[in-house]
Each structure stands twice: as structure tokens, then as C-alpha cells.
């Protein structure tokens, strides 16, 4: 009896070792799988779809913005209502971890079935063969990229292949706290404002001893100094995307202008904004003005403290023009998903007018589908959301679209934070960023 016991244990351990050893063999299969999923084999998936009997599957849909989760779940629900055999699981990986995780999942073949794509990351994933092309659907007219605003469809096109369906677009606005303006008897921001006016009013509205500040001169790119740099006539990247624009005098001037506000006490310090997120400060009524993206609208308005007491205005004008960044997110699907037919159906639904309408009605983001933007503008009638649509005309496309972007974008904040934290001068930081970007561009030709 005792004998049997220990035999079992040793057999168990041996078989476990055997399993581990055998598991090593599967690496070869993986390579084949990898070959098979190169972009070349497009088209077959959708044909098969009609022949196969419907089986129950669950596909994963991964996004990075938890504020949009309810809207995405509502879309998924409606999709499942139409396709009862396909369930969609919406997962949120926060932006801070999203690309680290995706770059891990890509070579492993474990990308989510369908997921949000960002213009800056797209090329890396498309050239690697990790995304399923949708070119045949575009050509056959199942998907019409002309349906989407501002030529957004072109973002997710590489070498004549289409990979993504535009989901939404976003621009930047100036959010302001009406109550703090009223208390100081200062008129609200409007489209006549320029940067000097912004700085002047920010100074006037600041009461550092009470922890109240006029403006959040935060160290941020898309909702921060990129807008300033563009407005001042500077660049983020040269037009042919081969050289950094951070070290142009106009860019440096804009950066300095912003940083100066943290020194003038018209803005919280970088430290304060690290300890408390600046948008959270705005939400708790401690900030009079902040640049934010249209995607944060619902989140800001959910604050009980400032609900009904705030609004949006266009960004101030700079020396040269009004700066703004437009970016469009896309939905893409993995080339290695297990349920590509079903994923493809869902992807198509995400690009439908109905999905855009749900996005708009729930106020999640400005939907990409033409004619649905109005519903978004009206989703919060007391807020002037029209400014986001109007600023599309001034807006500059998000400076992604090169293989080097993910590299320099990951390194940029660390250098700039040295300047915002006061360890090095803004000028030195800008030059360092420029060198780093130029190096990244050279390395990723």
C-alpha cells in the first residue's frame, strides 16, 4: 500500500517532466503558423464564413480607455443580438501598458481578436504581418472607406493594403471652469484668445495659497505642448517625417512659454501634477483651465463637483495659427486569431453607422462615420462640443506613421520630465529629444 503511494508520486513527476520536455517540440509548429498568417492569404476567411454552420464562439475586443468601455460593450451587445452565436468580451488594458502588452502578444500570436489601433503603432504591426488585411472587403465594397470623416481611412493603409476601419477621431479643446471665471469676474475663453491672453488670465485666476491654479501647464504631448509648438510655427516632425522639430527655435520658444507658467505659479508645478493628475484637479474644481482631448469629455463631466459648471472653448491662437492635433483610432483584427470569420464580422459591425451612432449617443468619442458626429455633439447639450468638430480644419495629423514613432514616443517623456522637473533647461531637453528622435529615425529606416 505504501509502495503504491510513492510509485504514483514518481510516475507523476516523471510524466510531468516528460510533458515539459515534449512541450518544447511545439516551437516548430509555431513557426509554420507564423508563415501561414502572412498578409498574402487574405480573402479566404470570409468565403468560408458562409459555408460553416454557426458555432458558439467568444471573441476578444481589447481597448485602452475605460471611459469608453460602456459604449464598446453596448456595441458588442447589439452585435451579439444580431449574431447570437458570437459573444464579444471587451477588455481594457490602460494606455500606459497597452503597447508594452501588445508588443509582447504580437510575436506570441496572442493578440486579441479585434483591438484598437493607434496611428503611431500601426506600421510596426502591419509590416510584421500581425494584422489581418481587409483589402478585399474594401475593394468589393463591403467596407466603404469614403464613409469616414477627414480621410481617416488612409491612416490604416500600408502599401496598398487596408488593415483598419476608422473608429473615431479626436481633437483637443480648452476646458474651463465657469465658476472660477465668474468669481474673478473674468469673461470666459472664446475663439479670439491667444496664448498671451491665456497666460494673463491664468495668472489672474491663480490662488496658489488655496491650491487653485489658472491653467495646467502639464508636461504632455498630444494634449499639451505639441499644440503650442504647432501654433507657434514649430514642428513635432519635419513634413517629410525625417527630422525632429523639437529643436526649432519656434518649438523651443513654445515649450519655454508653457514651462514658464509652472514657474509663475499660474500653473501647478510638475511635482503637483505628478502627485495629482491635472485632469483630476480640474475635475475637483481646483483648476480654471486645461487642455484636454475630446475623449475625456464624458469622464470630466462625470465629476459631481464641476458638473454643470464647466465648458469647452477652442485652443488659443499662437503666433502663426491655431494649433491642434487630430488623431483617429482604428479597429483592427489579429492575423492569428482563432475565430477570424467571426472577428471579421464584428470588425465590419464596428465600422457600421450603427456602431458610430452608439459611440456618439453614449458620448464616448467623436465617431468616424460621416453624419454621426452631430449625435455626439448633442450627447451633452450643455457643453460646447462643436468646437472639437470646428477645429478639425486647423488640426494637424498626429505625427505618427513611421516605424520610429513608437521608439521615440516611449523615450520622449523621460527627457521632457527632466526639464519640467527643473533638472535641465527646457532648451537642453528639447535638443536632447531632437537628437534622440533623429537617432530613432535613423535606426528605424
Partner 1 sequence: MNEGVMAMNTKSRYAWAYVMIAPTLIGTLLFWSWPAVYSIYLGFLKSENFGLVNHWVGTQNYEKLFKDQEFWRNLRNTLFYMVLFVPLTLVCSTVLAVLLNAKIRGRSTYRVIYFLPQVTMPAAAAMVWVVLFAQDYGLVNYALGTHVSWLSDPRFAMYSLVIVGVWAAIGFNMLLILAGLQGIPRTLYEAAEIDGAVGFNKFRYITLPLLTPTLFFTTIVLMIGATQVFDSIYMLIGKTNVALPAVRSLVYAYYQNAFVYYDQNYGAAIVNILLLVNLVLTGVQFLFQKKWVVYD
Partner 2 sequence: MTSHTLSSKRTNLVIHAVLIAISAVMIIPFLWMILTSVKTPMEATQIPVKFFPSILKWNSYSEAFKQSSFQYYYFNTAFSAFMKTLFPIIFSSMAAYAFARIQFPGRSICFFLIISVMMVPNPVFYTPQYMMMNKLGLVNTVTALWIASLISPFATFLLRQFFLGISKELEEAAILDGCNPFQIFWHIMLPLVKSALVAIVIIQLLWSWNELQWPLIINSSPEKLTLSAGLATLVSKFGTNYPVLMAGAIMAVIPMIFLFFIFQRRFIEGVAFSAHKG
Q: What angle do CA 54, 59, 60 make, to 5 degrees?
A: 175
For residue 137, what are the CA distances in angstroms to 95, 344, 368, 414? 30, 10, 18, 42
Site for partner 2 contains 93 (CB under 8 A)? yes
- Cβ contact 68:352 at 8 Å: no
User: Residue 95 binds what, of partner 1, partner 2, none (CB under 5 to 8 Å, by partner type)?
Assistant: partner 2
> Which H/E stretch holds residue 167?
strand 165-170
Q: Select from 137, 270, 296, 336 the one that contacts partner 1 (CB under 8 A).
A: 270
Least distance from partner 1 to the Cβ atom of residue 274, Å = 6
Site for partner 1 contains 208 (CB under 8 A)? no
Here's the x/- map for partner 1, 114-153, by CB under 8 A: it reads as: -------------xx-x-----------------------
What are 146's three cell numbers? 469614403
User: Residue 397 binds what, of partner 2, partner 1, none (CB under 5 to 8 Å, by partner type)?
Assistant: none
> Which H/E stretch holds residue 46?
helix 44-51
Site for partner 1 contains 221 (CB under 8 A)? no
Which strands make up the sheet holding 310-313, listed edge to edge?
213-215, 287-293, 172-177, 310-313
Considering beta carbons, is residue 17 or 54 the nearer one to partner 1? Answer: 17
User: Residue 139 binds what, of partner 1, partner 2, none (CB under 5 to 8 Å, by partner type)?
Assistant: none
Question: Which residue, chain included where needed, has cell 453624419?
Answer: 371
Binding-site residue total for partner 1 (CB under 8 A)? 38
Q: How far apart are CA 239 and CA 244, in angstroms?
A: 10
The beta strands (E) that lie in 50-147 are given as 57-63, 86-92, 114-117
Please tell me whether residue 439 adopts helix, strand or coil conformation: helix
Considering beta carbons, is residue 58 or 127 the nearer one to partner 2? Answer: 58
Considering beta carbons, is residue 20 or 81 the nearer one to partner 1? Answer: 20
User: Residue 277 binds what, of partner 1, partner 2, none (CB under 5 to 8 Å, by partner type)?
Assistant: partner 2
Q: How far apart are CA 319 and CA 354, in angstroms?
A: 42
Site for partner 2 contains 3 (CB under 8 A)? yes
Q: Select from 42, 67, 83, 103 the one that contacts partner 1 (CB under 8 A).
A: 103
| Residues within window 402-441 making contact with partner 1, judged by CB under 8 A | 406-407, 410-411, 413-414, 416-418, 420-423
Q: What angle do CA 152, 193, 191 make, to 5 degrees?
A: 50
Footprint on this chain of partner 1 (rule: CB under 8 A): 10, 13-14, 16-17, 20-21, 24, 34, 96, 100, 103-104, 106-107, 127-128, 130, 211, 219, 270-272, 274-275, 406-407, 410-411, 413-414, 416-418, 420-423
Amino acid at each position: 500500500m505504501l509502495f503504491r503511494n510513492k510509485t504514483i508520486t514518481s510516475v507523476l513527476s516523471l510524466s510531468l517532466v516528460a510533458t515539459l520536455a515534449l512541450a518544447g517540440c511545439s516551437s516548430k509548429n509555431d513557426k509554420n503558423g507564423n508563415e501561414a498568417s502572412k498578409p498574402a492569404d487574405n480573402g479566404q476567411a470570409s468565403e468560408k464564413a458562409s459555408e460553416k454552420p454557426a458555432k458558439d464562439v467568444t471573441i476578444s475586443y481589447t481597448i485602452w480607455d475605460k471611459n469608453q468601455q460602456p459604449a464598446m460593450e453596448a456595441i458588442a451587445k447589439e452585435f451579439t443580438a444580431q449574431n447570437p452565436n458570437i459573444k464579444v468580451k471587451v477588455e481594457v488594458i490602460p494606455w500606459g501598458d497597452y503597447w508594452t502588452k501588445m508588443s509582447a502578444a504580437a510575436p506570441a500570436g496572442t493578440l486579441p481578436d479585434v483591438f484598437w489601433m493607434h496611428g503611431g503603432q500601426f506600421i510596426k504591426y502591419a509590416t510584421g504581418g500581425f494584422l489581418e488585411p481587409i483589402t478585399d472587403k474594401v475593394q468589393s465594397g463591403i467596407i466603404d472607406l469614403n464613409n469616414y470623416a477627414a480621410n481617416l481611412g488612409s491612416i490604416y493603409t500600408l502599401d496598398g493594403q487596408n488593415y483598419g476601419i476608422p473608429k473615431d477621431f479626436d481633437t483637443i479643446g480648452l476646458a474651463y471652469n465657469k465658476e472660477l471665471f465668474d468669481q474673478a469676474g473674468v469673461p470666459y475663453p472664446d475663439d479670439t484668445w491667444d496664448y498671451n491672453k491665456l497666460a494673463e488670465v491664468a495668472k489672474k485666476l491663480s490662488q496658489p495659497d488655496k491650491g487653485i491654479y489658472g491653467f495646467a501647464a502639464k508636461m504632455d504631448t498630444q494634449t499639451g505642448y505639441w499644440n503650442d509648438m504647432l501654433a507657434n510655427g514649430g514642428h513635432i516632425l519635419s513634413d517629410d517625417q525625417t527630422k525632429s522639430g523639437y529643436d526649432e527655435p519656434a518649438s523651443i520658444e513654445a515649450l519655454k512659454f508653457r514651462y514658464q507658467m509652472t514657474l509663475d505659479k499660474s500653473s501647478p508645478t510638475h511635482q503637483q501634477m505628478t502627485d495629482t493628475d491635472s485632469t483630476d484637479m480640474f475635475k475637483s474644481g481646483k483648476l480654471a483651465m486645461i487642455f484636454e482631448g475630446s475623449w475625456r469629455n464624458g469622464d470630466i463631466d462625470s465629476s459631481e463637483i464641476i458638473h454643470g459648471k464647466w465648458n469647452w472653448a477652442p485652443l488659443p491662437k499662437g503666433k502663426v495659427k491655431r494649433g491642434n492635433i487630430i488623431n483617429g483610432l482604428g479597429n483592427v483584427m489579429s492575423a492569428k486569431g482563432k475565430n477570424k470569420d467571426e472577428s471579421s464580422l464584428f470588425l465590419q459591425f464596428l465600422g457600421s453607422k450603427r456602431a458610430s451612432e452608439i459611440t456618439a449617443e453614449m458620448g464616448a468619442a467623436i465617431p468616424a462615420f460621416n453624419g454621426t458626429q452631430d449625435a455626439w455633439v448633442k450627447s451633452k447639450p450643455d457643453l460646447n462640443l462643436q468646437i472639437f468638430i470646428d477645429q478639425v480644419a486647423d488640426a494637424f495629423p498626429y505625427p505618427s506613421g513611421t516605424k520610429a514613432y513608437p521608439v521615440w514616443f516611449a523615450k520622449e517623456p523621460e527627457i521632457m520630465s527632466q526639464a519640467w522637473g527643473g533638472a535641465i533647461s527646457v532648451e537642453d531637453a528639447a535638443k536632447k529629444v531632437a537628437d534622440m528622435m533623429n537617432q530613432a529615425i535613423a535606426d528605424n529606416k
